[in-house]
Structure 1
């Protein structure tokens, strides 16, 4: 479920960019949207370094839970990116997307590591393939959720609610897996 959530959170931002203030970004600010999309990737690059070291030092299970909580809180934070001006919303959304990228990278990194350490040699490849196959399903879910929410909130004055809801819905699958992650045994390696 972790890789599913990672993919949902990474890819739900692109379809909703047109909903954020209904394209009020002027032509002189064309750098805003690509910059906003890149913030989670920059966070992911930094997060992989941080979580890789932490996983080796304090244990993968704890760090796995920490990454998940960062994802939940930052997904909710993305939806609460509230300001009075367009630019301010993009700044706060960029901040939470950066933090989300850090959490996603920890989840992504540790999902592969933990799965390869827990599975036996005979089933390891199948288990890792199953884990990473959830990425495609997460990307598909991001598009489906976006279409459903947009169909429900299909009025221009409700576009602001729609994009916030789409971003916050990414916290649900991550939150649902927290309990089971904390029950996992620490890996032996």
Structure 2
């Protein structure tokens, strides 16, 4: 009690609020009127426990696993519900009996029945498809080789024209000028068409 009196006296003497006691321990008196926007203190031991604890990691893994299993179960339920509906079948049967059948059902029933292909026929079709694919592949391969051969031939001719040298090692300009002329003519003919 005497100590409180001393601190109050000191505060009154200096005119300083530093030594005054507040009603709540650990909280500074607010200068503005906002008491609701207080920042929570950081708890390092709790953070460490959550970050490095094996128990917490195991709990997170279990939560993820149960969520994954629950999701898979709900997905399977929806799939089954959408695939097979007994009530629909009963309703269609009742309509048929009454003569109110859907047009789609009538078309399916009255349509020609297909004969299943025998094993030999299916194998023959597969062989034919394979042979057609192989022929197409070989044709494309031959076209590529021909285009490549043509490209290399043109490249070699261009190289010979542009790299001719005189006896003294000077470039021959005749070939270069001819090449430029051909290039201009090709561009003009391409733009004209």
- The two structures have a TM-score, normalised by structure 2, of 0.18
The structure showing larger relative contact order (alpha-carbon pairs under 8 Å, at least 6 residues apart) is 1
Larger radius of gyration: 2
- The two structures have a TM-score, normalised by structure 1, of 0.18
Identify the structure with the greater helix proportion: 1
